[in-house]
Amino acid sequence: MTGFGRLTRTEWTKFRTVRGRLAAMLVAGGVILGLALSPMSGTCTRDTCGQPVGPEGEQVRDSFYFLHQPLTGDGAITARLTSMTGLLPPEPGSASEDDERAAIGPGGSGGMRPGLVPWAKAGLIVKDGTGQGTTYAAVMATGGHGVRMQHDYVHDRAGQPGAVSDTAPRWLRLTRDGDTITGEESTDGVIWTTVGAAELDGLPATVRIGLFVTSPQHVEALGAAGSASAPTVAAATFDAITRTGAGAGPGWSGEAIGEPPGTPEQERGRHEPAGDGFVLTGSGDIAPAVAGAAGLGVSVTQTLAGTFAGLVLVVVVGTVFMTGEYRRGMIRTTLAASPRRGRMLLAKAVVVGGVTFVVGLVSAAAAVTIGRESLLDNGVYVLPVSTPTAWRMIVGTGALLAVAAVLALGIGAMLRRSAGAITAVIVLTVLPYLLALTVLPATAGQWLLRVTPAAAFAVQQSAKQYAQVENLYTPAGGYFPLPWWAGFAVLCLWAGAALAGAGVLLRRRDA
Amino acid sequence: MSEATIVVDGLRKRFGSTQALDGMTFTVQPGRITGFIGPNGAGKSTTMRVILGLDRPDSGAALVGGQPYRTLRRPLCHLGSLLDAAALQPSRTARNHLLWIAHSQGLGARRVDAVIEEAGLQGVARRAAGGFSLGMRQRLGIAMALLGDPPMLMLDEPFNGMDPEGIIWMRGFLRSLARQGRAVLVSSHLMSELQDAASQVVIVGRGRVLADTAVADLLRTSSSLEEAYLKLTRDAVEYRAANGTEAAR
Amino acid sequence: MTGVLRSEWTKFRSAPGAVWLLVAVVAVTVAGGAATAATLRCPSTGCTGDPAEISLTGIQLSQAVVAIVAALMVGGEYRTNMIHTTLAATPQRIRMLIAKTAVVAGVVALAGAVAVPAGVLVGRPMLADRGLTLALSDAAVQRAAFGSVLYLVLIALLTVGVAVIARDAAAAIGVVLSLLYVFAILAQMVPDAELRENLREIAPMTAGLAIQATVDLASLPVSPWRGLAVLAAWAFGSLVVGGVLLKARDA
C-alpha cells in the first residue's frame, strides 16, 4: 500500500471508530430520504394532469385561438397585421374583490386593464392538425420581442424588432415546400425578408394553415418571495389575407385550441370579421412548459428538500473530524504518526468526502425515486425530467454534500474551534439560499447565489429556462443564476481555498 | 460525629455492565490525612464524583459534614476538591479562573490573591492556564480547593506531574492541612508518598473497601505500604502484567 | 444567587473572544441591513417592501453569532470538563443554569440594544434615498426594533437550552442553526399552501421574525407578538428540557 493509501486507511479507521460520526452520516441520509416524502396531495391521477408532449418529447403548452383551412401539398399564406392589443389582469390591490366581481359580465373587462404581455403572439401558423402538442411552424409578431419564427415549441428565432400598429403594420408570410416551412416578414408587402426556415420531419401531406393569436400568463413578483400569475388576453387585426395551394377557399373555421372548460368570457378565444379580414382574440401559449409561477405542478427538485437538513449534519461531522483532533491534544498523536501535515489533511478530506459522497448519492437516488412516486400517488403533478438530468441531480447532490464536508473540514482546520467553524460553513452554504428565498431583493439574492458556496445547489435545478417564456426564474421557483456546473465549481473553489489555507496554517502553526 | 467529616455509606453505582461501586463505605476523619488507594478501575474517581454530587449513586449516600453536597449553599467553604487539573478553559488566566470560582461562593478577589500566594503561583497568575505544565495546574487546583478555606479537602492524585521540589512542597502542605485540624482525603498511586504523609488508608478494589486502617497498623504486618497494598488487592485487580505473580490465572 | 450570577459573569468576560463575538453581533447586524438596503433595486412604480424588515435583515445573520456566544458558554465547559468544577462550586444545578442563562440573556440584550438601533439608523437614510420612509416615531417601527432585541435574546436562550441538552457546542450549533435556517427553508419550499402556512407559523425563525413586520400585517402567517411568543415557547421548552436533564444526569 502506498504511503497515502496507508494514511487514508488510518483516517478511515479513525472516522469509523467514533460511533457518533457514522450515526450522524446515516441520520443525514435518513433525513434526506424522509423529507422527500412530502405530505402534499393533489387531484391529479397519473393520466389527467399531464400536459401535451411536443415532438421532441418535452412538456409543452399548446393553447391558442386558431382560424384555419386545410392545406394539401405545398402552398403559402400571407396576411397583414395592423393592430395588436391586449388585456392584463387587474393591478394587484387596485380594486377590491367586490368591485372585481361586479365588473365581470358579458362584454365587461372583469377589472382587467389594457396592456400586452411581451410574449403575446399573433401571426401565421402551419400545424399538423388541431390536436395539442403536434408539430408546427409559425411566424408571428409579439408584444415586446418583435417578429419571431418559432417551431416545435422550443425553437425560436428573432426577426425585426418593433411593435405592430396602424401606422406600422407588419406583413407576414408562411410558405410550405415539402417538409420545409419558411417564414418571411415585410413592412410594405413588397420587400420581403426571411425570418427563418424550419424542417418539420414527417409532416403529413395535409395540414392546417391559418391565423392564430395567443397570450401567456402574466407573472409578477410580489414582495421578495411571493408571486402572482394570471391569464391575459390578446387581440389582433389581420387583413389582406391571401392563400395559395390546395385547400384554399373562402371558408375558415375558428377553434380555441386547448382552452379549458369554464374559461371566463373575456378570456375565451373568438374571431370576428373586420373589413376584408378578421379580429382574432386568444389566450394561452405555444411554448415549452415551465415550472414555477408561470407553470403548473412541482419539479423533481422538491423531493431533494432534505438536502439542507442533511447538509447541516454533514458539515458538523466534517468540522468535528478536524476540530476533534484539537480536543485533548489528540493532534499531537496524529502528527507523531503522520508528520506530513498536508498529506494528513488531504487523507482526511478524501475520507470525509468519500463517505459523504456515498451516503449523499444513495439517499438522493432513493429520495428522487421514492419521493416522485409518492407525489404522483398523492395526485400531485410532477414535471418530468430527462434521465441525464435526473442523474445529474442525484450525483450532483452527493457531490455537493461531499465537497461541503471538505469545506467544513478545511474551515475547521483553520479555526480549530467547532462552533465557529460550523456556523461559518452553515452561514455560507445555507443562509444565502434562505435569504434569496425570503427577504433579499432579487438582484442581491442572485448575486449571493453566484459567489457563495450555496451556488452549488444549482446541481439540483431540474427546470429548464427558456428565453421565449416569461417566468420568474428565481430560486424560489427552482431556478438558479448559474448553470449547474458553474455553481458546483464555485463550491469546489471555496473548498479548495479552505483546504489550501488549512494546509498552510497547519504547516506553519505549532500543533 | 464532628462537623468536618466525610461519610461514604454503602454506595452502589453501575455503568452499563460494569459495577463501578459495590457497597463502598468509609469515613474521613478530621485532623489527619486519609490515603485513598486501589488499582485502576477500583472506583476511587467514581466515589469522589459521587461525594461531589457529580454522579448520582444507584443507592447509598455520601455526606459532607453531615449534608449531601448538592444541598450546600457555599460548598467550597465546606469541602475543597481537586479532581481533574486539566479541566479549565485554556485561554483564561489562572487568576480569572480562580476569580469566577470565588464569585460563585460569594468570595472576593482578595481571597483569590491569598490562595495564589499559598499555592506558590504569584509569578504566573496572570498567564493563560492553558500554557501551564501539569505540575503548575496541580498547584492551581490546590489553590482552587483552598479558596473557601474549607475544613475538608479531597484531592485526586495531587502528586501527578509534580517535580521533586513540588512533591516535597505538596507533602509538607498536606501535613500542615491536617495539623490545622482539617479532614483530608488523598488518592494516589505513589505509595511511598502516602506512607510518609497519611496516617490512615482506605484501600479499595472492585468498588468495595478492602481495608480501612491506620498506616501504622499495616506497617506492623508488612514491610511497606506497597507490599500491604499488593497483598490486599491481589484478587481485586482487573489485569496484571504477564510477569506478575498472578499471570497464570 | 448574586454570587452565582457574579461568578458566571466573571466566567463570561474572561472567556476568550466573548467580547469580540458581541462586537461581531453589532457589526453583522448593521452591515447586513446596510447591504440589503444598498442592493435594493426598485421598479419605476416605486419601491415596495417593509423598511423596518429591510434595515433589520442583519438579524438573520447575527443570530448565528448570538448562537455561538450561547453555545460556547455552555459547550465550552463540557469541552474542557470545567463543568465539574462549576458544579462542585454550585451543586444546585438549576441555580447555576438560571444564572448562566441570565448572564447570556443580559449580554445579548446589551449587544442587541446597540445593534438594532444602529442598524435602523444606518439603514434609514439609505432607504430614504429609495423613497422608503422609516418613521422612528411609528409605533410599529418601535415594536419591530424592540422586538428584534427580544428576538436575539430568545435565540440565545434557545441555544443555552439546546447546548445543555447536547453537552457539546458543535452539536448544539448544528441543532440550533437547523431549527432556524433549515426549518425556515423547508417551510418556504413546501408547495402545498396550507401546510406551508402552518409550518411558517411554528418555525422559530419565521414566526419570531414576524415581529419585524411593519406593513401588510395581514399577509403574515402569524401576528408579530404571537410569532415572538412561538419563539419564546421554543426557547422555554429547550431550557426546561435542558434543566430536567441537567438535574437528572451524571455530570
Angle between helical axes of C58-79 and C93-129 (0-180°, round to 10) = 160
CATH number of residue B194's parent domain = 3.40.50.300
Of A216, A7, C8, nearest in space to B102 by CA: C8
B63 and B159 assigned to the same domain:
yes
DSSP 8-state secondary structure symbol assigned to residue A382: B
pLDDT score, position A292: 59
Q: A223–C71: do the CB atoms touch at under 8 Å?
A: no
B60 and B93 assigned to the same domain:
no
Distance of CA A227 to the CA centre of its chain: 15
Query: Phi and psi at residue A471, in whole multiples of 5°?
Result: -155, 165
* Half-sphere exposure of residue A280: CA atoms within 13 angstroms, side-chain side: 31
Minimal CA separation from C181 to chain A, in Å? 7
Average the pLDDT over B24-28 and give the result: 94
B58 and B108 assigned to the same domain:
no
> What radius of gyration do chain C's Cα atoms show?
19
B192 or A183: which leads in pLDDT: A183
Question: What percent of chain C is predicted at pLDDT more than 70?
Answer: 97
**What count of other Cβ atoms lies within 10 Å of the Cβ of residue A336?**
9
Average the pLDDT over A471-491 and give the result: 83
pLDDT score, position C71: 94
Please check whether residue C10 touches B, CB under 8 A.
Answer: yes
Please check whether residue C11 touches B, CB under 8 A.
Answer: yes
Which residue matches cell numbers 441555580? C95
Please check whether residue C8 touches B, CB under 8 A.
Answer: yes
B50 and B160 assigned to the same domain:
yes
How far apart (Å, rounded) are the C-alpha atoms in residues C58 and C176? Answer: 18
DSSP string, B106-133: T--HHHHHHHHHHTT-GGGTTSBGGG--
Statement: residue C233 has pLDDT above 60: yes
Q: Which of A458-467, B4-13, C36-45 has the highest mean pLDDT?
A: B4-13
Minimal CA separation from C91 to chain B, in Å? 5
Statement: residue A106 has pLDDT above 50: no
B4 and B65 assigned to the same domain:
yes
Residue of B nearest to C91 (CA): B70
Strand order in the sheet with B33-37: B79-82, B152-156, B183-187, B33-37, B200-205, B208-214
Minimal CA separation from C188 to chain A, in Å? 8
Range of the domain at B208: 1-78+151-165+178-241
- Calculate the average pLDDT of chain C: 89
> What radius of gyration do chain A's Cα atoms show?
29
Residue B172 in domain: no
Cβ pairs A/C, distance under 8 A: 117
Could you say which residues from 194 to 213 on chain B have a Cβ atom under 8 Å away from some Cβ of chain C?
Answer: none
Q: B69–C91: do the CB atoms touch at under 8 Å?
A: yes
DSSP string, A300-332: GGGGGTTHHHHHHHHHHHHHHHHHHHHGGGHHH
Is residue A2 packed enough to be buried (19+ CB in 10 Å), middle (13-18) or exposed (0-12)?
Answer: exposed
Statement: residue A50 has pLDDT above 80: no
> CA A209, A211, A213 angle in degrees (round to 5)?
135
B91 or A257: which leads in pLDDT: A257
B137 and B158 assigned to the same domain:
no
Statement: residue C83 has pLDDT above 70: yes
Task: List pLDDT tens digits, range A366-385.
Answer: 999 998 888 888 777 777 77
Q: A40–C39: do the CB atoms touch at under 8 Å?
A: no
Q: Which fold has domain A60-288?
A: Jelly Rolls (2.60.120)
B21 and B67 assigned to the same domain:
yes
Please check whether residue B74 touches C, CB under 8 A.
Answer: yes
Please check whether residue C185 touches B, CB under 8 A.
Answer: no
Residue of C nearest to A412 (CA): C170
Task: List pLDDT tens digits, range C101-144.
Answer: 999 999 999 999 999 999 999 988 888 887 788 888 888 899 99
Please check whether residue C6 touches B, CB under 8 A.
Answer: yes
Q: For residue A140, what are the contacts with CB-CB under 8 A and spacing of at least 6? A: A121, A122, A123, A124, A125, A147, A148, A150, A172, A212
Angle between helical axes of A418-429 and A307-326 (0-180°, round to 10) = 150
pLDDT score, position B60: 94
**Residue of C47, C185, C206 to mutate when probing chain A, most A C-beta within 10 A:** C185
Q: B91–C16: do the CB atoms touch at under 8 Å?
A: yes
How far apart (Å, rounded) are the C-alpha atoms in residues A315 and A404? Answer: 7
Grid coordinates representing C190 are 413546501
Statement: residue A1 has pLDDT above 60: no
Reduced to 3 DSSP states, what percent helix, strand and coil does chain B have, rounded to the nearest 5? 35, 25, 40
Please check whether residue B140 touches C, CB under 8 A.
Answer: no
CB A421 within 8 A of CB A415: yes
B52 and B1 assigned to the same domain:
yes
How far apart (Å, rounded) are the C-alpha atoms in residues A46 and B196? Answer: 88
Extents of the domains making up chain A: 3-41+297-508, 60-288
**Lowest mean pLDDT: which of A35-44, A69-78, A217-226, B164-173?**
A217-226
Please check whether residue A197 touches C, CB under 8 A.
Answer: no
Q: Which helix (H) or strand (E) holds A19?
A: helix A19-34
Residue B246 in domain: no
3-state secondary structure of A170: strand
Please check whether residue C74 touches B, CB under 8 A.
Answer: no
Minimal CA separation from C86 to chain B, in Å? 7
Q: B71–C91: do the CB atoms touch at under 8 Å?
A: yes
Q: Which of A282-286, C42-46, C217-221 has the highest mean pLDDT?
A: A282-286
Strand order in the sheet with B18-28: B18-28, B6-15, B59-64
pLDDT band at C46 (very low <50, low <70, confident <90, very high): low
Q: Given B54, B102, B104, which is nearest C84 (Cβ)?
A: B54
Q: What is the ipTM of this complex?
A: 0.89
**Residue of C188, C199, C212 to mutate when probing chain A, most A C-beta within 10 A:** C188
Residue of B nearest to C78 (CA): B87
B24 and B138 assigned to the same domain:
no
**Looking at A89-202, which runs of residues are DSSP E strands?**
113-114, 121-127, 136-142, 147-151, 155-158, 170-177, 180-186, 193-199
Please check whether residue A439 touches C, CB under 8 A.
Answer: yes
